[in-house]
Amino acid sequence: MHPLTGDHAQSIGAWGELRLLAAIRHWLGDCAPPNPVGMGDDCAVLDRPAGNLLTVDSVIFGRHFDADVPPAAVGAKLMHRNLSDIAAMGGEPRFALLAGALPAATAHAWVAAMVQGLAAAARQHGVLIVGGDLAQSATDLVLTLTLTGHAARPLLRSGGQPGDHIVVTGQLGGSRAGRHYAFEPRLAEGRALAADPRITVAMDVTDGLATDLPKLLPAGCGAELDLAAVPLADAAVALAAGTGKPAWWHALCDGEDYELLFLVPAAVSITGWLAAWNADPRHAAATCIGRVVAGGRGLVDSRDGLPLRGVGGYEHFS
């Protein structure tokens, strides 16, 4: 059977990522344990209470980077994307495997610089690269990194409650202007969150806040967003001047922010919590952008309670 089809209705593009993932989970059957050991979080939590973490991520030429991105930055980005998933669980990274599918025409000078960029990022974060695999591909250049880590108390996507404050680190939007390969994974922030027993729910923002936030909401809940509070990256403001869309739209939809998104329980004074967090110079600034609300109306504007229209993040198979 040919893996590709000319019939769109029979393709994974017609399904989209969420439906494909649900189908894969179904086909795996009892090979796929329930979350958080199995699929559904930023990392798999292999055992509890030991808290060993496992995650994998790829970068693809033409999709996640192009010829304008220095090869060392490609290697760093591959490491940083995986580190961001470890950060989202409040973990420490440990060991990595590197797999590459490369055309024979790939310049070895490019590979050298890419691997050196990967190694520099690994060294900075105490990661040991312990093996991998190489394969020759016809045209596509795909690099995949598998990373292990450890978290004494892993932060999960599940466990949110109505009334929880929604908080994000850093600034959002416009990452395609360059931040997508020059970001710092929020490992220190993830560890600090995991050290605060009041915080249990977190993820990293990779596909855009509008796509990722619903993954953090408990079943039957929506989110009320204060659009004026959403922290805007300068690049989002600059991009908005050209697209005519509001800068907050770019902050919600652009993706590749690699910031941490987390919930602070309603019983915690969010003003006091943020004041303490933001007074610590080791942390990227955190901003409260809304709260979890009962009732499944998706993302609503806190000013008028109406659903946000025309917001969506990155769809992997469109």
Give the residues lining the site for Mg ion (CB under 5 A).
42, 85, 204
Q: Is 44 helix (H, G, I), strand (E, B) or coil?
A: strand
Q: Which is nearer to Mg ion, 14 or 20 (CB)?
A: 20
Least Å distance, CB 42 to Mg ion, is 4
Q: Which is nearer to Mg ion, 164 or 256 (CB)?
A: 256
Least Å distance, CB 284 to Mg ion, is 17
Query: How many H helices and E strands in the chain?
Result: 9, 11
Residue of this chain nearest to Mg ion (CB atom): 42
| Distance, CA of 116 to CA of 158 (rounded, Å) | 37
Least Å distance, CB 215 to Mg ion, is 9
Q: Is 141 helix (H, G, I), strand (E, B) or coil?
A: coil
| Distance, CA of 20 to CA of 26 (rounded, Å) | 10
Least Å distance, CB 106 to Mg ion, is 28
Least Å distance, CB 263 to Mg ion, is 16
| Distance, CA of 149 to CA of 129 (rounded, Å) | 13
> What residues contact residue 125 under an 8 Å CB cut-off, 6+ apart?
79, 83, 93, 185, 187
Task: Classify residue 70 by burial, with Cβ atoms within 10 Å: 0-12, 13-18, 19+.
Answer: middle
Least Å distance, CB 203 to Mg ion, is 6
Q: Which is nearer to Mg ion, 43 or 72 (CB)?
A: 43
DSSP code per residue over 208-240: -HHHHHHHHSPTTEEEEE-GGGSPBPHHHHHHH
Q: Which is nearer to Mg ion, 42 or 259 (CB)?
A: 42
Q: Which is nearer to Mg ion, 42 or 254 (CB)?
A: 42
Q: Which is nearer to Mg ion, 41 or 164 (CB)?
A: 41
